[in-house]
Structure 1
Amino acid sequence: MKGLVWLIVLVPFWGKSPDYQRSAEVPMVSLEGEAQGTTYHIKYRDERQRNFKKPVDSLLTEIDLCLSTYRPDSEISQFNQSESHRFQRPYFYPVLKKAEEVYRITNGAFDPTVKPLVEAYEQGKKSGEPWLPNTDSLLEYVDFQYISFDTVSVKKRKKNVRLDFNALAQGYTVDVLAVFLESNGIDHYMVEVGGEVRCRGERSIGQWWNVGIESPVRPGGLQSSVRMANRAMATSGNYRNFYRQTGETYGHIINPKTGFSKPDALLSATIFAKDAMTADAFATAFLVMGLAKTRRFLSQHRELDAYLIYKDDAGNLKTVATDGIREFIK
């Protein structure tokens, strides 16, 4: 879904304070594992050398039990099969709230009720049978305005509407794990789940966290890298998950207004924000909006930074970065 290669390398900077010198003497703790159909990697400095893998895995399980559409016993699956749902865990409401925020500010380019269309795309890719004739009937159930919620529960305003949080759940998971580390006094960390990343502090004395951005034309290859501290990033692209049918190419990031996705000049959007859920949601929205609308949007929303990879009219690969992130990319 995301198309991001992450890596940690050494990046020097100047102005070393005594606090950095003390933190450099603390060994790095590294955790890794599998979750949400992908992998996670966590690195942090802790004077007590605590190993948080057990509570981290417990948190990941709890988030899945709330937000995973692949689990029939999850809260979101229960809601999709009914007309309303009372929240059982503290994870459903924050994601709904963020989804509503991004839905409104992008004029519906981001919409978690797109699930019926995503299922049609996946079935079409698997079977090879045409599915576009079904989009008009499926669009009847796609619009976040059909969802009503408060801090306690969520309801459907229209029968058969269903939610899919895959476009921001991994980013939210990163945030939950980051908050957990901070609650335990960890000030220097990097959390990565499925390519979504959030960092705080520095890797060690003289070193920033450095994260790689995958090339959309050389999957598995590196396009650029970015120095990071005290922010989050997420990448979306249609260049991995797509298929061709009747001479047309369709990507997995569905436009909730048309019911399908067609190629655009924008190949990859890497978004930087204070939290990973925000970055994750906007990365998806921008792939729906396309290059021109995304650049106009970013010019009006300086709270976000972005690194965009696209093809010009001659088919040449180009990149553009917003002012707030440009100097940190190489």
Structure 2
Amino acid sequence: MRLSRRRFLTLSACALASPARAVTGRWTGYAFGAEVSLDLRGSRGLVEADLQAVIAEIRALERRFSLYDPTSDLSRLNARGEEPLSPELREILDMSHRVHAVTGGLFDPTIQPLWEALAQGGNVTTARDLIGLDRVTREADYIKLGAGQKLSFNGIAQGYATDRIAVLLRTRGYGEALINMGEFAALGGPFRLGLVDPEAGRLGALHLSAGAMATSSPSAMTVGGETHILHPKGGAPMWSTVTVVAEGAGQAALADAASTAFCLMPRSEIETAKQKLGLSRVYLVDVAGNLSSL
């Protein structure tokens, strides 16, 4: 049975609450096309004002980066070719450029025209020729795309949102929480999370403390007969599932982008990129369902 991406991500969030550190509050919602959740530990539950702040932050980020909202900043940028550069867009572009450089261009947000061509039966060759993050220019207060280019932050936006919600909760005094905005961040911990592959099912588990975890699985969704993680240079995915763990605060966006690109890279190149990006662990599931780590 093939799991949908949303169901796959939900199953991978298996938080373990011991009797001494029981989950005292849980909130679930929907954002960026997937189920999202917060799990809190300790004596303090999620108060209403803080919950409303979380929801407001999520909606604000969707207004920045959603491809499904024609009024979002990203939709306007794709339609017009240029747009004022918000602080959030600057941050997500900075991280995109970093991972793009380390992965030899395999993480590239300018993949959107190729996605649209596959989904709509367009010219795939022409669309692939538009890919190239180096053609996106930035000044102090605006961004401009190359001719015909469009951006998608689907490989990083959920991780970025996870980081933002983690900061919000931390500043409001929450010290024990598991944030799932499509990728995971732990305040405190440990939290037990499953290692899951859409084809092979659950293969193991890890404990996450004060860090982030992101998972990408090319076959969890298809578009135009291809896996949803598209190779900018025309290759095919090399792994069934990649899970990346990064220690410290503010690491979910990095883990998200890295897990996306690592699906397209051989093990030796992943190991080099892991070191350059300062990642803690990488779990790889091959097409036969075998789990390994580095």
**What's the TM-score, normalizing by structure 1?**
0.78
Q: Is the deviation greater in 71-80 or in 158-167?
A: 158-167
- Per the TM alignment, residue 306 of structure 1 is displaced from its structure 2 partner at its CA by 0.4
**Structure 2 residue aligned with 1:36:** 32
| Alignment partner of 1:148 is 2:146 | no
Distance in 1 (alpha carbons) for counterparts of 2:37 and 2:69: 23
Q: 3-state DSSP class of the match of 2:64?
A: helix
| SS of the residue 2:80 aligns to | coil
Q: Which residue of 2 aligns with 1:18?
A: none
Measured after TM superposition, the shift of residue 288 of structure 1 is: 2.1
Distance 1:185 1:244 in 2: 46
- Deviating above 4 A after TM superposition, structure 1's stretches of 4 or more consecutive aligned residues are 299-302
1:90 and 2:87 are equivalent in the alignment: yes
Q: State the match for 1:100 in structure 2.
A: 97
Structure 1 pair 257–201 and aligned structure 2 pair: CA distance change class (3 A) = same
Distance 2:276 2:89 in 1: 30
TM-superposition CA deviations, 1:26-66 (whole Å, max 9, x none):
97222111111111110224655423221111111100110
Number of aligned pairs?
282
* Secondary structure, counterpart of 2:29 in structure 1: strand
> Are 2:222 and 1:242 aligned?
yes
Q: Is the 8 A contact 2:216 2:259 kept in 1?
A: yes
Correspondence 1:217 to 2:199? yes
Structure 2 letter corresponding to 1:303: L
TM-score (norm 2): 0.87
Distance 1:32 1:57 in 2: 11
The offset of 1:183, in angstroms, is 0.9
**1:128 corresponds to:** none
5 Å-filtered alignment, 1:219-298, equals: 221-242=201-222, 250-258=226-234, 262-264=236-238, 266-273=239-246, 274=248, 275-298=251-274
| Equivalent residue in structure 1 for 2:185, among 183, 192, 198 | 198
Matching residue of 2:283:
307
Rg: which structure is higher? 1
Q: Distance in 2 between matches of 1:192 and 1:140?
A: 35
1:79 to 73, 77, 80: 77
Task: Note the C-alpha offset of 1:302.
Answer: 5.0
Q: Which structure features the higher share of helix residues?
A: 2
- What whole-Å deviation, never above 9, does each CA across 1:71-129 have from its counterpart, x for those lacking one? 10000111111132113x532111111111111111101000010001122234xxxxx
CA contact (8 A) 2:38 2:178 kept: yes
Tell me how far apart the structure 2 counterparts of residues 170 and 280 of structure 1 sit (CA, whole Å).
8
Determine if contact 1:209/1:228 at 8 Å carries over to the other structure. yes
Deviation at 1:252, TM superposition (A): 1.4
Q: Secondary structure at the match of 2:168?
A: helix
SS in 1 for 2:219: coil
| Other structure's SS at 2:220 match | coil
Alpha-carbon distance in 1 for matches of 2:103, 2:237: 19
Deviation at 1:161, TM superposition (A): 1.2
Task: For residue 139 of structure 1, report the CA deviation from its aligned partner.
Answer: 2.3
Q: Does 1:319 align with 2:278?
A: no
- Equivalents in 1 of 2:282, 2:76: separation in Å? 36
Q: Pick from 66, 69, 75: which aligns with 1:68?
A: 66
Equivalent residue for 1:169?
A: 157
For structure 1, which runs of at least 5 residues remain unmatched after alignment?
13-20, 125-130, 203-207, 323-330
Conservation of the 8 A alpha-carbon contact between 1:30 and 1:42: yes
Amino acid at match of 1:211: L
Are residues 1:189 and 2:177 paired? Answer: yes
Q: Does structure 2 retain, via aligned residues, the 8 Å contact 1:215–1:223?
A: yes
Distance in 2 (CA, whole Å) between partners of 1:120 and 1:77 is 17
Which residue does 1:327 correspond to in 2? none
**Distance change >3 Å, CA 215–CA 233, structure 1 → 2:** same
Aligned identity (percent) is 25
Confirm or deny: 8 A CA contact 1:121 1:252 kept in the other structure. no
